Amino acid sequence: MTIQFGREICGELSIADQREWLVTNGIGGYACGSISGILGRHYHGLLVAALKPPLERTLLLTKLDETVHYAGNTWPLSSDRWADGTVNPKGYQLIERFYLEGTIPVWTFACDDALIEKRIWMEQGENTTYVRYILKRASQPVALTLKSLVNYRNHHGNTQGDDWQMQVNLHPHGIEIQAFENAVPFYLLTAVAAQVSPAHSWYHGYGLAMEQYRGIYPHDDHLHVATFDVELSLGQSLTLVASTTSRADLNGEAALKRQRLHKQALIGDWYTHPQSKKLPLWLEQLVLAADQFIVKRSVAGNPGKTVIAGYPWFGDWGRDTMIALPGLAIATNRPNIAKPILNTFAQYLD
C-alpha cells in the first residue's frame, strides 16, 4: 500500500500543512517537515543530527529554497510562511503528487510541461541526509537553483541570527560550515558539477504555525550559506548531500539503493512471520515505521540498541521502551533486536 496525495491535498495549504513526513538514520538523527514545504515547527529540518547518538540532536540544514528556470519562466518550488502570516513563495501550488516510497517522501512538481521529482532520505548509521532531484519530463533542459539555509541549534530552540557569523569555506564538492569555534563542522556536497556560490545572509522571521498553536515562541531565523546552480537535461539528476562527515558517499543512486535494500530486508523479515500472509498489506507501512524508532546506543563502550520514545521531541526512556518492545521487535518478526535493547537497559537497573 502506498500513501499518496494529489493536488486536492497538496495544493490546499490548510491541509498540506497538517501532513508531515519523517525519515531517520538509526542513531537518533532525523529529518522532518510538512508536505507543503513550509516550516511549521522548531523541529522541521533536512538534517537534525544526533551529535552524541542518540541524543544532542542539533538542527544543521534547515531547508533548500528551490527555484526552476524553464521555458522562459521562473518557478519557485519552495514555500515559506513569515512572521506576519504571509506565505511567499507558494511552491506547494506546483505539487502534482506526494507519496511515500517505503518511508522515503517523494514530491512531483509540475512546471509547464516539465516534471521534477524530489526524494529525501538518510544514510543508516550516519548524520547524512540526501535530497535528490531528477528531471522526469521536459521538452528542454531545466536550470535548478538551490539556496541552502542552515542553523546550529538544539532542535527544541529557536534562533535570532543578527550578528552570528558562521565560517563558510569552499570544498571540492561544495561547502564546509563551521558555526562557531569547537562546533562540529558540517558539509553540503554534490557529485554533480554545479556552480557553488558561498553566501552569508540571515533570513529573519520564519513563522512557525504549530509552535504558535502550542503557545511557544513562533519565530525563527536561518542562514543562507550557499547557492547551488545546475542545469538538468531529461533523465538527469542532482543529489545534494548534507552531512557531518566530509567522507559521505556522494553517489545518490548508490545511496538510494542502500536505503531501498534496508527497507526490503525489513519487509522480508516480516514475511517470514507465520501470520504475515494472512494480514492486510497496509501493515507493511507499520513495519517500516516501527524501524524508525529503533536506534543504536553504546553503553560503557559496548554497542547496543535502544528505542526513541517519540519523534521529534523525545529521547529514549526505559518505561516507553518496555511498553513498545513487543510490538517493535516481536510483532515485526525481529526478535534479534529485542536482546540488545534489553541488554542496554539492564545496565541501568536499580
pLDDT computed for residue 273 by the predictor: 78
Domain positions in the chain? 4-249, 259-346
Class of domain 4-249: mainly beta
Global confidence as pTM: 0.96
Residues 6 or more apart whose CB falls under 8 angstroms from that of 17 comprise 34, 35, 36, 38, 40, 209
Sort 262 into a burial class: Cβ within 10 Å, 0-12 / 13-18 / 19+. Answer: middle
For residue 296, the SS3 value is: strand
pLDDT computed for residue 276 by the predictor: 75
Residue 135 has pLDDT above 60, yes or no: yes
Section 148-152 average pLDDT: 98
| pLDDT tens digits, one per residue of 97-115 | 999 999 999 999 999 999 9
CA distance 290 to 263: 11
Residue 189 has pLDDT above 90, yes or no: yes
Q: Return the amino acid letter for 179.
A: A
Q: Which residue has the higher pLDDT, 277 or 59?
A: 59
Long-range contacts of residues 79-86, Cβ cutoff 8 Å, at least 24 apart: 79/36, 79/37, 79/38, 80/38, 80/39, 80/206, 81/38, 81/39, 81/40, 81/206, 81/207, 81/209, 82/205, 82/206, 82/207, 83/205, 83/206, 83/207, 83/218, 83/219, 84/205, 84/207, 85/207
Percent of the chain whose predicted confidence (pLDDT) is above 90? 89
| Banded pLDDT at 1 (limits 50, 70, 90) | low
Section 296-305 average pLDDT: 87
Residue 119 has pLDDT above 60, yes or no: yes
Residue 299 has pLDDT above 90, yes or no: no
